[in-house]
Amino acid sequence: MQTLEWDNSLSVGVEEIDAQHRTWIDRFNKVVEAVSDRRGATEISKTLGFLVDYTEEHFGTEEARMAETGYPDMPAHRDRHDDIRLTLNGLVEDFREDGPTEELAGDVETFLGNWLIKHIREVDMKLGAFLAAQ
């Protein structure tokens, strides 16, 4: 399984958000490692829990910045966050029901990985440009 690397091409131009994206990717990588190493259920559910918690913290930060600054695309951006929240909760549910299956490993890697990176590149970039211009 592939882990993700943060690089400058993912910078949204706002230090606080970039720093959180690094941590977010790091938490994601910890899940990938735990699942691909077939670590015990406790360990995997711990890494998933950290990822869920940090996702909430990070989305909370972005949503607060959007609200403070009157970001016009806030509703659409928040909807995309809700999609990721749902996806992530679905993975946690799948894990609870079936454990660390091949399927879960594949879903964690491709689906969430793509979503995470795509969200940063396509949705957070626009927010970053708006905040940097404030």
Residues that bind Fe ion (CB under 5 A): 62, 124
Taking the complex as a whole, the smallest distance from the CB of residue 68 to Fe ion amounts, in Å, to: 15
Q: Select 107 or 124, whichever has its Cβ closest to Fe ion.
A: 124
d(CA 96, CA 93): 5
Which residue is closest to Fe ion by CB? 124
Taking the complex as a whole, the smallest distance from the CB of residue 123 to Fe ion amounts, in Å, to: 5
Taking the complex as a whole, the smallest distance from the CB of residue 132 to Fe ion amounts, in Å, to: 14
Q: Select 33 or 63, whichever has its Cβ closest to Fe ion.
A: 63
On whether the CB atoms of residues 127 and 71 are closer than 8 A, the answer is yes
Other beta carbons within 10 angstroms of residue 82's beta carbon come to: 11
On whether the CB atoms of residues 13 and 132 are closer than 8 A, the answer is yes
Taking the complex as a whole, the smallest distance from the CB of residue 103 to Fe ion amounts, in Å, to: 27
Q: Select 95 or 130, whichever has its Cβ closest to Fe ion.
A: 130
Longest C-alpha distance within the chain, in Å?
47
**CA 74 to each of CA 34, 102, 122: distance values in angstroms, whole numbers, following the listed order:** 34, 36, 14
Q: Select 30 or 81, whichever has its Cβ closest to Fe ion.
A: 81
